[in-house]
């Protein structure tokens, strides 16, 4: 019998502390979506194969489906909901709209978080390298050309980001 007694857990998401009582089997992704109600982060495969669940943990991009929520106390978790400041979109969000870097929009939060993470890692300038760095995020609508164009635009706008 698997022990599913609930654990007390403190998760800091987008600067807000959330006290949760959850089953230790809950993934970080399911904690965000089903417990906290932040559904911007998407579940595409639940196996770390599609990237729709990408969030930043202490600024680094990870697949939130592939890890358990209990492992992330005392970290800063950033999701898509945190990027825009009020009415003002993050430059990456604005660039995705401008270059039509999405269609159905389901993989989009993961793409954008991955792109923001990539900029922080030191984004390559070459299209081919950007494509390689973004290949953990699948888009079945295949808005790939727009995604690369959006990243290039933000990279060039904010070389020090």
Partner 1 sequence: MNKTIGKPINRVDGRLKVTGEAKYSGEIPLENIAYGVIITSTIARGRIKHINTSVAEKSPGVIGIITHLDAPKLYARPNFGHEGAAGEKLAPLQNSTIYYSGQAIGVAIADTLERATYAASLVKVDYVVETPLTEMGKERDRAYPIEKFVEFTVEFALGDADAEFAKAEVKIEATYTTPTEHHNPMEPHATAAVWEGENLTVYDSTQYIFGMREGLAKMLGIPHANVRVLCKFIGGSFGCKYGLWAHTPLAAIAARQFRRPVKIVLTREQMFGLVGHRSETEQQIKLGATPEGRLTALIHQGISQTSIFDEFVETFTTTSRTMYAVPNLRTAQSVVPLNKGTPTIMRAPGESVGTFALESAMDELAWALKLDPIELRLRNYAEVHPARQVPWSSKSLKECYALAAEKFGWSRRTPEPGSMRDDRYLIGMGMASACFPMEHFPASAIARIFADGSVVVQSGSQEIGTGTATVMAQLTADMLGVPVEKVRFEFGDTELARSPGTVGSGTAASVGTAVHGAAKAVRAKVVALAQKDPNSPLYGVPEPDIETSQERIFVKNNSAKGETYQAVLARHNLEYIDANFDAKPEEEEEFAKCSFGAHFVEVRVDPELGEVRLTRVVGAFAAGRILNEKTARSQISGATIMGIGMALHEETITDPHTGRIVNDNLAEYHLPVNADIPPIDIYFIDEVDTHVNPIGVKGAGEVGITGIIAAIANAIYHATGKRIRDLPITPDKLL
Cβ atoms < 10 Å from Cβ of 9: 20
Which CB sits closer to partner 1, 62 or 147?
Answer: 147
Task: Determine which residue in the list 12, 57, 76, 103 makes contact with partner 1, applying CB under 8 A.
Answer: 103
Decide whether 123 or 130 has the Cβ nearer to partner 1.
130
Q: Which two tokens stand for residue 138?
A: 């699948």
Give dist(CA 46, CA 53) in Å, integer.
Answer: 8
Q: Is 9 in the site for partner 1 (CB under 8 A)?
A: no
Instruction: Answer yes or no whether residue 126 interacts with partner 1 by CB under 8 A.
Output: no
Q: Are 29 and 72 in contact (CB under 8 A)?
A: no
Which range of residues in 29-37, 56-64, 70-78, 117-125 is near partner 1 by CB under 8 A?
A: 29-37
Rule CB under 8 A: is residue 66 a binding residue for partner 1? no
Choose which of 18, 147, 154, 155 interacts with partner 1 (CB under 8 A).
147
**Contact region for partner 1 (CB under 8 A) — 35-43, 56-64, 116-124, 152-160?**
35-43
For residue 45, what are its two tokens? 């495969």
CB 47 within 8 A of CB 65: yes
| Cα–Cα dist 131/127, whole Å | 6
Q: Which is nearer to partner 1, 58 or 132 (CB)?
A: 132
Rounded CA separation 62/68 (Å): 12
Nearest distance in Å: CB 160, partner 1: 23
Contacts of 111 (CB under 8 A, 6+ apart): 51, 54, 96, 101, 102, 134, 137, 139, 147
The binding site for partner 1 (CB under 8 A) comprises 2, 4, 23, 25-26, 30, 33-34, 37-47, 49-50, 52, 79-81, 83-84, 89, 93-94, 96-98, 100, 102-109, 112, 128, 130-132, 134-148
């Amino acid at each position: 019998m698997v022990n599913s007694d609930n654990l007390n857990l403190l998760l800091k998401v987008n600067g807000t502390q959330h006290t949760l009582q959850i089953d230790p089997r809950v993934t970080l992704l399911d904690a965000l979506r089903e417990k906290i109600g932040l559904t911007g982060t998407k579940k595409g495969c639940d196996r770390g194969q599609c990237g729709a669940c990408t969030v930043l943990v202490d600024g680094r991009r990870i697949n939130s489906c592939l890890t358990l929520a209990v492992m992330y106390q005392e970290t800063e978790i950033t999701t898509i909901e945190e990027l825009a400041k009020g009415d003002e979109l993050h430059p990456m969000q604005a660039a995705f709209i401008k270059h039509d870097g999405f269609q159905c929009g389901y993989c989009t939060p993961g793409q954008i978080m991955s792109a923001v993470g990539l900029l922080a890692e030191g984004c390559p300038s070459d299209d081919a390298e950007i494509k390689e760095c973004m290949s953990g995020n699948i888009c079945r609508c295949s808005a790939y050309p727009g995604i690369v164009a959006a990243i290039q635009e933000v990279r060039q706008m904010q070389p020090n980001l």
